[in-house]
Chain A
Amino acid sequence: LAKTTQPISMDSYEGQEVNITCSHNNIATNDYITWYQQFPSQGPRFIIQGYKTKVTNEVASLFIPADRKSSTLSLPRVSLSDTAVYYCLVAKGGNNDMRFGAGTRLTVKP
Chain B
Amino acid sequence: EAEVAQSPRYKITEKSQAVAFWCDPISGHATLYWYRQILGQGPELLVQFQDESVVDDSQLPKDRFSAERLKGVDSTLKIQPAELGDSAMYLCASSLVGPYEQYFGPGTRLTVT
Query: Which residues of A are in contact with B by a Cβ distance under 8 Å?
Result: 32, 34, 36, 41-46, 49, 87, 91, 93-103
Contact = CB atoms under 8 A, between A and B. Distances in A.
B42 A87 contact: yes
A46 B35 CA distance: 15
B81 interface: no
A71 B98 CA distance: 21
Nearest to B56: A96
A96 B100 CA distance: 9
A69 to B, nearest CB: 20
A98 B87 CA distance: 23
A98 B99 contact: yes
Interface residues of B, number: 26
29 contacts: A34-B100, A41-B107, A42-B104, A43-B4, A43-B91, A43-B93, A43-B105, A44-B91, A44-B93, A46-B101, A46-B103, A49-B100, A49-B101, A87-B42, A91-B98, A91-B99, A93-B98, A94-B98, A96-B48, A96-B56, A96-B99, A98-B99, A98-B102, A99-B45, A100-B35, A100-B42, A100-B43, A100-B45, A103-B42
B31 A96 contact: yes
A34 B101 CA distance: 8
Task: Across the A-B interface, give the 5 residue pairs with the lowest CB-CB distance, nearest first.
Answer: A43-B104, A100-B42, A98-B99, A91-B99, A100-B43
Contacts of B101: 34, 46, 49
B55 interface: yes
A97 B106 CA distance: 22
Interface string B70-113: 00000000000000000001010100001111111111010000
